[in-house]
Chain A
Amino acid sequence: MREIQVNVAKDFSRFPAGRYRNDGPYSGEAFRDLMVNHLKNEQETLTIELDGALGYGSSFLEEAFGGLVRLGYQTADLLRRITLRSADDLLIREIRSYIQRAAS
Chain B
Amino acid sequence: MGRKGDLRRWKSRRISSKRLRKSLKRLRAGRHTMKPVILSQFGESGLDTVYLPQVVSLADRNLHYQLTKTMQELRMAFVADNEEVRLDFSRTEILHAEGMLLFYAELTRLIDAFPTKKLSCKPSKKAKVEEVLQHLGVYRLLGHNSLVVPTSSDAVNWKVARAVIVDGEKAGKLIEETAQLSGTAHSKLYRSVSEAITNVSNHSHLAKREDGLDLEPTKEWWMFSREEKNSLYVAVCDLGIGIPRSLPRRHPTEVWLDAIYRMFGDRRTTDGRMIKAALRLRRTRTEEDYRGVGFSDITNVLHQVEGSLLTVYSNRGKLRYWNPTLIPAIRVRSFKNSILGTILVWSFPFRDDQNA
Report which A residues bind B (CB closer than 8 A): 13-20, 22-27, 54-60, 62, 66, 70, 98, 101-102
Asked if residues A54 and B202 are in contact (CB atoms below 8 Å), the reply is no
Whether the Cβ atoms of A15 and B198 lie closer than 8 Å is no
Interface residues of B in 177-225 (CB under 8 A from A): 186-191, 194-195, 197-198, 201-202
| A54 B186 Cβ-Cβ under 8 A | yes
A54 to B188, CA, bound (A): 9
Contact between B197 and A17, CB atoms less than 8 A apart: yes
A58 to B194, CA, bound (A): 9
Cα of A16 to Cα of B168 in the assembled complex, Å: 6
**Which of A17, A60, A66 contacts B171, CB < 8 Å?**
A17
B192 closest partner in A (C-beta): A57
> B194–A60 contact, CB under 8 A?
yes
Residue from B176, B189, B290 with most neighbouring chain A CB atoms (10 Å): B290
Apart from A15-B173, A17-B171, A19-B201: 16 A-B pairs, beta carbons within 8 A: A13-B169, A17-B172, A18-B168, A18-B198, A18-B201, A23-B166, A54-B168, A55-B188, A57-B195, A58-B191, A58-B296, A58-B297, A59-B202, A59-B294, A98-B290, A102-B290
Taking the nearest CB of chain A, how far is it from the CB of B171, in angstroms? 7
| Residues of chain A contacted by B197 (CB below 8 angstroms) | 17-18
Smallest CB–CB gap between B298 and chain A, Å?
9
Contact check, B171 vs A55: say whether CB atoms are below 8 A apart: no
A27 to B169, CA, bound (A): 12
Q: Which residues on B sit within 8 Å (CB–CB) of A56? A: 191
Question: What's the interface size class on B, roughly?
Answer: 20 to 34
Q: Which of A22, A25, A54 contacts B172 (CB 8 A)?
A: A54
A23 touching B176, Cβ below 8 Å: no
Is B168 within 8 A of A15, CB to CB? yes
Q: How far does the Cβ of A56 sit from chain B's closest Cβ, in whole Å?
A: 6
A14 and B172 in contact, given A55-B190, A57-B194, A59-B198 (Cβ under 8 angstroms)? yes
Query: What mask results when residues 290 to 302 of chain B are scored 1 for a CB within 8 Å of chain A, else 0?
Result: 1101101100000
A58 to B297, CA, bound (A): 7
Q: Which residue of A lies closest to B184 (CB)?
A: A88
Q: Does B20 contact A (CB under 8 A)?
A: no
Minimal Cβ-Cβ distance residue in A for B165 = A24
- The answer to whether the Cβ of B155 comes within 8 Å of any Cβ in the partner chain is no
Chain A residues whose C-beta falls within 8 Å of the C-beta of B189 in the assembled complex: 55
> Bound state CA distance, A52 and B301, in angstroms?
19
Which chain A positions have C-beta within 8 A of B101? none
A20 to B219, CA, bound (A): 13
A15 — which chain B residues lie within 8 A by C-beta? 167-169, 171-173, 190, 194
Cβ-defined contact, B194 with A66, below 8 A: no
Determine if B165 and A59 form an interchain contact, defined as CB atoms under 8 angstroms apart: no
